[in-house]
């Protein structure tokens, strides 16, 4: 932990020194780069059913450092710091320990403040060394391996399942892994990755081959995935002017391989943009291991999700619409309906650009489950987010 803090301070002082070099050599990228953001989130969570109302606040900072050691060799460190305060921190037992969840083999996180209603947590979710040349690209360390080819749900994304509702952490946690990529032509190639987590049975070793043909991006993968063997495929192309994408992965338990039954995770999606500025999209997700009990909605937390179970229900349908209302104002609405338990999730996002580097978002997430032939509001979260990018 102290070592990381040391690196952080060292890198920050580098930024100062490098800033001038950067402005002079406008068209050649600087060897040292730093980028990041600061976000403030105000959340109001309430449930009419339970009569509960909780406010929470947090500041979310990200610092991305990269340094080019030589033309092919670079290091990368990215730090995510969150400062939580208020009611939710006070009311949640062991809040700091919950925030400090880390699945990797390297311990790269620490809590710097822990008070009754104030917690500050930092994690290095990227710390890696990369070497590349014309055809090869090798990364060792904590990194994100994103194998998704569709937009909403990604059964092929074995290393880093994306929670559709976790809109504030699009970078996602890193995997502690070795990744080797080879491409001879830049449009097709192999991607081999091996990762291990701290817990037992978290080893994943997978090989993916991707290529582009006839207007389609295609990929095939085979993996030793935790307790399973996995085989998957994905595509991204179009039918007419509409996008047409899909991903499927079959998981077969390794123990009792012949007689056990496997499970499928599959998604299909399509999207279309109209000349008037409207965007519409639809997606379907089949989850073989999905539940039918509406209360399984609680499983929808980042730590429970995996490529094998991206939604807690067997079937999920997403309808999405977005419109650029003015050049500065964007509105987006996602509706997710899960036919088995009849769960409905309403997820609007409004984005307003305050200036070149400041954005204001309003996000709502409302969950409904059926009761006496109608939808009962189970819980809601209203979030106001101010973001400054630098």
Partner 1 sequence: MLKYFILTCGAIMIFFPLLAQKTEDATAIVRKADERMRGKTSIAEMSIITVRPKWTRTMDMKIWTKGTQYAMILVQAPAKEKGTAFLKRNKEVWNWLPTLERTIKLPPSMMSQSWMGTDFTNDDLVKESSVIEDYAHKLLGSAMEAGRDCYKIELIPKPEAAVVWGKIILWIDKKEYIQMRTEFYDEEGELSQTMVGSELKMLGGILLPSRMEMIPVGKKGHSTTLLYKSLVFNTPLGDDFFTTVKMSRVK
- Would you tell me which residues interact with partner 1 (CB under 8 A)? 26-27, 29, 35, 37, 132, 137, 144, 146, 148-149, 151, 170-171, 183, 185-187, 189, 212, 215, 217, 236-238, 240-243, 245, 271-277, 324, 326-328, 353, 355-357, 359, 387, 389-390
Query: Closer to partner 1 at the Cβ: 136 or 257?
Result: 136
Nearest distance, CB of residue 104 and partner 1, angstroms: 17
Nearest distance, CB of residue 337 and partner 1, angstroms: 23
Which parts of the chain fold into alpha helices (H)?
2-24, 87-91, 95-99
Could you tell me which residues are beta bridge partners of residue 129? 75, 140
Query: Closer to partner 1 at the Cβ: 87 or 217?
Result: 217
Nearest distance, CB of residue 214 and partner 1, angstroms: 10
Query: Closer to partner 1 at the Cβ: 112 or 357?
Result: 357
Query: Closer to partner 1 at the Cβ: 109 or 128?
Result: 128
Query: Closer to partner 1 at the Cβ: 169 or 337?
Result: 169
Query: Closer to partner 1 at the Cβ: 22 or 87?
Result: 22
Nearest distance, CB of residue 321 and partner 1, angstroms: 14
Which residue pairs from 51-59 have beta carbons closer than 8 angstroms and sit at least 24 positions apart in sequence?
54/87, 54/88, 54/91, 55/86, 55/87, 55/88, 56/84, 56/86, 56/87, 56/88, 56/89, 57/84, 57/85, 57/86, 58/82, 58/83, 58/84, 58/85, 59/83
Nearest distance, CB of residue 137 and partner 1, angstroms: 8
Nearest distance, CB of residue 206 and partner 1, angstroms: 16
* Helix or strand (DSSP H, E) at 123: strand 118-132
Instruction: Please provide the distance, in angstroms rounded to a whole number, between the alpha carbons at the two ends of the chain.
Output: 25
Query: Reduced to 3 states, what is the DSSP secondary structure of residue 34?
Result: strand
Backbone angles phi, psi at 12, to 5 degrees: -60, -40
Which residue pairs from 132-139 have beta carbons closer than 8 angstroms and sit at least 24 positions apart in sequence?
132/72, 133/72, 135/182, 135/183, 135/184, 136/180, 136/181, 136/182, 137/179, 137/180, 137/181, 137/182, 137/183, 138/178, 138/179, 138/180, 138/181, 139/177, 139/178, 139/179
Nearest distance, CB of residue 146 and partner 1, angstroms: 4
Nearest distance, CB of residue 357 and partner 1, angstroms: 5
Query: Closer to partner 1 at the Cβ: 149 or 233?
Result: 149
DSSP letter, residue 161:
P
Nearest distance, CB of residue 288 and partner 1, angstroms: 25
Give the Cα separation of 331 and 154 in Å (integer).
24
Helix/strand number for the chain, H first, E second: 3, 19
Residue from 119, 116, 56 nearest 82 by CA: 119
Query: Closer to partner 1 at the Cβ: 85 or 244?
Result: 244
Query: Closer to partner 1 at the Cβ: 228 or 359?
Result: 359
Q: Count CA within 13 A, CB hemisphere, residue 106.
A: 20
Query: Closer to partner 1 at the Cβ: 97 or 357?
Result: 357
Backbone angles phi, psi at 27, to 5 degrees: -95, -5
Give the Cα separation of 171 and 35 in Å (integer).
14
Nearest distance, CB of residue 287 and partner 1, angstroms: 22
């Amino acid at each position: 932990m102290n070592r990381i803090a040391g690196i952080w301070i060292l890198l920050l002082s580098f930024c100062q020194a490098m800033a001038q070099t950067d402005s002079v050599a406008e068209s050649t990228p600087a060897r040292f780069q730093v980028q990041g953001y600061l976000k403030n989130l105000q959340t109001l969570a309430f449930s009419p059913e339970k009569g509960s109302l909780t406010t929470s606040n947090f500041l979310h900072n990200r610092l991305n450092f990269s340094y080019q050691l030589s033309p092919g060799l670079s290091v990368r460190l990215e730090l995510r710091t969150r400062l939580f305060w208020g009611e939710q921190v006070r009311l949640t037992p062991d809040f700091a320990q919950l925030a400090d969840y880390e699945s990797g083999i390297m311990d790269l996180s620490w809590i710097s403040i822990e008070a009754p209603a104030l917690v500050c947590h930092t994690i290095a979710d990227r710390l890696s060394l990369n070497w590349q040349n014309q055809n090869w690209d090798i990364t060792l360390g904590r990194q994100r391996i994103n194998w998704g080819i569709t937009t909403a749900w990604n059964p092929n994304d074995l290393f880093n399942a994306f929670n559709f509702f976790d809109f504030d952490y699009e970078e996602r946690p890193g995997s502690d892994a070795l990744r080797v990529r080879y491409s001879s032509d830049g449009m097709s190639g192999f991607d081999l990755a091996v990762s291990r987590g701290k817990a037992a049975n978290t080893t994943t070793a997978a090989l993916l081959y991707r290529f582009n043909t006839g207007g389609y991006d295609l990929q095939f993968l085979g993996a030793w995935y935790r307790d399973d063997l996995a085989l998957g495929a994905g595509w991204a192309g179009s039918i007419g002017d509409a996008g047409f994408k899909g991903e499927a992965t079959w998981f077969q338990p390794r123990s009792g391989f012949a007689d056990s039954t496997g499970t499928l995770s599959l998604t299909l999606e399509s999207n279309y943009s109209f000349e008037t500025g409207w965007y519409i999209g639809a997606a379907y997700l089949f989850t073989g291991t999905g539940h039918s009990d509406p209360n399984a909605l609680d499983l929808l937390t980042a730590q429970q999700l995996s490529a094998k179970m991206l939604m807690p229900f067997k079937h999920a349908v997403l309808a999405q619409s977005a419109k650029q209302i003015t050049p500065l104002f964007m509105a987006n609405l996602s509706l997710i309906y899960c036919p088995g338990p009849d769960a409905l999730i309403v997820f609007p996002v409004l984005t307003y650009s305050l200036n070149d580097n400041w954005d204001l978002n309003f996000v709502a997430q409302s969950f409904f489950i059926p009761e006496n032939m109608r939808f009962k509001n189970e819980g809601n979260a209203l979030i106001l987010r101010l973001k400054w990018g630098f």
